[in-house]
């Protein structure tokens, strides 16, 4: 097949695909208008998140047989139209699930032990032991929302910490084990000390975490979001932190990740968030390690090979 790669990828993917007999055009700097002009000549697209795979683009892709998404999120892809056309969709959640799980653990431990704050203070000659007294993870109840590739790997990483792990997944049943309690959402809200989000962005999950939803939790908790920022707004985060509903947050994703396109309200609320010592940020890199960058390629090429052989 003739395959167009439109985003930056680990270059190993070219060799992997060519070894399977495919013709590969690697064009990570290609613009959307250029994609629209030439997509009709390709059987496969390999993408990250440069441009939406919407009906406008897909209708021009007259020979398209598959889209391979180097990542987990599918919110920029017109899934209904893919089904209508019979276009296969591959994504590589297995390629970066270990990276996401480790990042979530690292952020949680840094939050519990004031690592960012303490490091900044010591560099300034401030030796404040009491002000940086931390919390232990052992003995806490950790709730996981979404028990797919990411959520299940996060649960595995928690095994050695002496915590109770409970998980809720609206679309998955029968995954409970000796290590993980399968529970309803209300039980997570009643008992979790920590909540880690591993859910996709859908019409159901967008802005799911309203102020009222957070207020319905039985006790203050720490929040980890390595999933999608649009599930909770800056405004809701600030209000929950102000009122002690949230004890702190680890945020790898944001409501809006394009700083130059913030509304005035988003800018104001984001500045309030960044002034807090109990919020840790990273730039959507939880699944973005040197190892996952290469593993994603192997996962995608394997899936393409199995589907078309």
List, by residue number, the catalytic residues: 228, 257, 284
Selection from 279, 274, 276, 277 nearest residue 262 by Cα? 274
Residue with structure tokens 């940020």? 281
What Å distances lie between residue 103 and 157, 225, 234, 281, CA to CA?
A: 10, 10, 21, 11
Assess contact for 97 and 150: CB atoms under 8 A. yes
CA gap 44, 256 in Å, rounded = 30
Here the tokens at position 141 are 């109840």
Q: What is the DSSP string of 164-204?
A: EEEEE-TT--S---SSEEE--HHHHHHH-SEEEE-----TT
Here the tokens at position 230 are 């649009």
Give every CB contact of residue 143 below 8 A, 6+ residues apart in sequence.
166, 167, 168, 183, 188, 191, 192, 194, 195, 196, 221
Phi, psi of 46 (to 5 degrees): -110, 125
DSSP 8-state code for residue 40: G
Residue with structure tokens 């490091």? 119
Selection from 23, 52, 22 nearest residue 35 by Cα? 52
């Amino acid at each position: 097949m003739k395959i167009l790669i439109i985003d930056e990828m680990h270059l190993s993917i070219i060799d992997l695909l060519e070894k399977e007999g495919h013709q590969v055009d690697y064009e990570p700097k290609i613009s959307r208008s250029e994609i629209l002009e030439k997509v009709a000549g390709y059987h496969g697209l390999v993408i990250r998140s440069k441009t939406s795979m919407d009906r406008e683009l897909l209708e021009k892709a007259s020979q398209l047989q598959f889209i391979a998404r180097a990542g987990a999120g599918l919110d920029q892809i017109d899934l209904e139209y893919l089904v209508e056309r019979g276009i296969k969709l591959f994504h590589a959640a297995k390629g970066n699930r270990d990276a996401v799980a480790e990042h979530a653990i690292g952020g949680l431990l840094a939050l519990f032990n004031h690592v960012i704050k303490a490091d900044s203070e010591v560099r300034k000659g401030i030796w404040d032991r009491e002000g940086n007294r931390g919390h232990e993870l052992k003995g806490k109840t950790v709730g996981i929302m979404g028990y797919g590739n990411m959520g299940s790997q996060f649960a595995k990483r928690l095994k050695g910490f002496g915590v109770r792990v409970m998980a809720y997944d609206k679309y998955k049943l029968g995954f409970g084990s000796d290590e993980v309690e399968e529970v309803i959402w209300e039980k997570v809200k009643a008992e979790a000390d920590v909540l880690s989000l591993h859910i996709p962005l859908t019409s159901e999950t967008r802005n799911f975490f309203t102020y009222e939803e957070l207020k319905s939790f039985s006790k203050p908790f720490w929040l980890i979001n390595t999933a999608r920022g649009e599930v909770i707004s800056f405004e809701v985060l600030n209000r929950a932190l102000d009122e002690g509903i949230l004890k702190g947050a680890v945020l790898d994703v944001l409501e809006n990740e394009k700083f130059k396109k913030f509304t005035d309200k988003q800018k104001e609320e984001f500045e309030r968030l960044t002034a807090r010592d109990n919020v840790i940020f990273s730039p959507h890199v939880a699944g973005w390690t040197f190892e996952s960058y290469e593993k994603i390629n192997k996962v995608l090429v394997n899936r393409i090979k199995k589907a078309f052989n």
